[in-house]
Structure 1
Amino acid sequence: MAQADCNSSRDNRWLLNGMTALVTGGSKGLGHAVVEELAGLGATIHTCARTEPVLNECLQEWKMKGFKVTGSVCDVTSRTEREKLMSTVSSQFDGKLNILVNNVGILYFQRTIDVTPEDISLYLSTNFESAYHLCQLAHPLLKNSGAGNIVFMSSVSGVVSVSVSLYGATKGTQFNVFLI
């Protein structure tokens, strides 16, 4: 086989044409990069963000690049909004989802003695509960696709202490989430 043929077939195995993905928190940081990478490989993406103007700016940017990306405003700390998000994804992708990327997370640097009960609830609902619940909601869609994948954007802080104990505890829980 010619060298060009080898390179072509090697590149094709990474293509995601026909695949669908939901990336939470896709308007900033790592989530934004994941949306761009998956879309660049040919996947059709739906993403969410808390801030509509930022989301709309990203959607316009991706449209100009020729990416197939839609989005909706969603605060993943809200069970109702997560359910609405998954309903939207199910409708857009005909009841099938190939990739769920649980990217959303929060981190505030604060001393452990300064953490309030409200901080604990916010961290748990954002970094753990939202990802866990979205996995539950996505399970039928992932199963229907015949090729479902879940990615957790966790942190080394979940397994090694790096002076952000609450963040580490809530991100570390993601290492133990899986579907049967």
Structure 2
Amino acid sequence: MWNLKNKKALITGGTKGIGRASVKMFLDLGAEVLFTARNEKEINSFESKLKNEGLKATGIVADSSDSKDIDKIKKWINKNWKKLDILVNNAGINIRKKTNDYSEEEFRKVLEVNLVAPFEISRKLFPLLKKSGNASIINVASSAALQDVGTGTPYSMSKSGLLQQTRSLAVEWAQDSIRVNAVSPWFTKTPLTEGYLHNEEKMQAILNRTPLNRVAEAEEMSSIISFLAMDNSSFITGQNIVADGGMSVNAL
């Protein structure tokens, strides 16, 4: 049971960071994978790299916050799979600013991509998830949903909302055999955090708060996501796994 054989999985934001690591790990575990990204060149490059490793995944150019693109994803799944076993809502953005420096367009964009998009894609794909008879949704949240970690108020708001979305859907959709869980990473090496982590002062502040004295690798997060997607985690729903190297329990 420690595999994802015969599972059909959709991973949003699949060409970078945690999404990319999840695509690779899901394939290694035997799943069939559809992933999305906004950049066609990056999709083609990743598909080619996987092919050279003897793996095959399908990428679709899609913005998960665009309802027309969600319809395109749903159409592909209906045509090729007829059902969906796993949905990983990973796509996300951040704009780091002081609260009063955000334009309305900027903070609404962060909320739209990080909070509204997972809600809408989960709703639209609900019929396909229900057909699975044993589906799993995994939402990639953040430690910023639980503490102020200097990532900006809109980002924290969106990830906190995503945690409650996880809990509410877990209860509502349990009767349809759909589990819903979340993963909340602390700082992880991804393109989204690259610039921030290159700042020596900020990096040292992160390390000072983290008992394991390092930031996470994307593969460490994809391992948790993979477990929550497996049948082995079949009695876990409505939960948030905090993967933070001990940061949240480090008082001094």
TM-score, length basis structure 1: 0.89
Give the AA of the match of 1:61: K
Deviations 1:62-110 (A, max 9, x none): 12222231011001221111111121122221x2111000000001211
Q: Are 1:77 and 1:122, in contact at CA under 8 Å, matched by a contact in 2?
A: no
- Once residues 133 and 90 of structure 1 are traced to their aligned partners in structure 2, the CA distance between those partners, rounded to angstroms, is 17
Aligned to 2:57: 69
Report matched runs for 1:2-151 at 5 Å: 13-93=1-81, 95-151=82-138
Aligned-residue CA RMSD (Å): 1.1
Does 2:161 correspond to 1:173? yes
Give the AA of the match of 1:170: S
TM-score, length basis structure 2: 0.64
The Cα shift of 1:46 comes to 0.1
Identity %: 31
Does 2:156 correspond to 1:161? no
Aligned residues: 167
Query: For structure 2, which runs of at least 5 residues remain unmatched after alignment?
Result: 174-252
Any runs of at least 4 consecutive aligned residues in structure 1 with deviations exceeding 3 A, and if so which? none
Query: For structure 1, which runs of at least 5 residues remain unmatched after alignment?
Result: 1-12
- Once residues 36 and 153 of structure 2 are traced to their aligned partners in structure 1, the CA distance between those partners, rounded to angstroms, is 27
- Once residues 38 and 18 of structure 1 are traced to their aligned partners in structure 2, the CA distance between those partners, rounded to angstroms, is 11
Q: Are 2:115 and 2:162, in contact at CA under 8 Å, matched by a contact in 1?
A: yes
Q: Are 1:47 and 1:71, in contact at CA under 8 Å, matched by a contact in 2?
A: yes
Deviations 1:128-175 (A, max 9, x none): 111001110121111101110000011010111112211000111111
Aligned to 2:139: 152
- Once residues 22 and 39 of structure 1 are traced to their aligned partners in structure 2, the CA distance between those partners, rounded to angstroms, is 12
Give the AA of the match of 2:51: K
- Once residues 176 and 166 of structure 1 are traced to their aligned partners in structure 2, the CA distance between those partners, rounded to angstroms, is 16
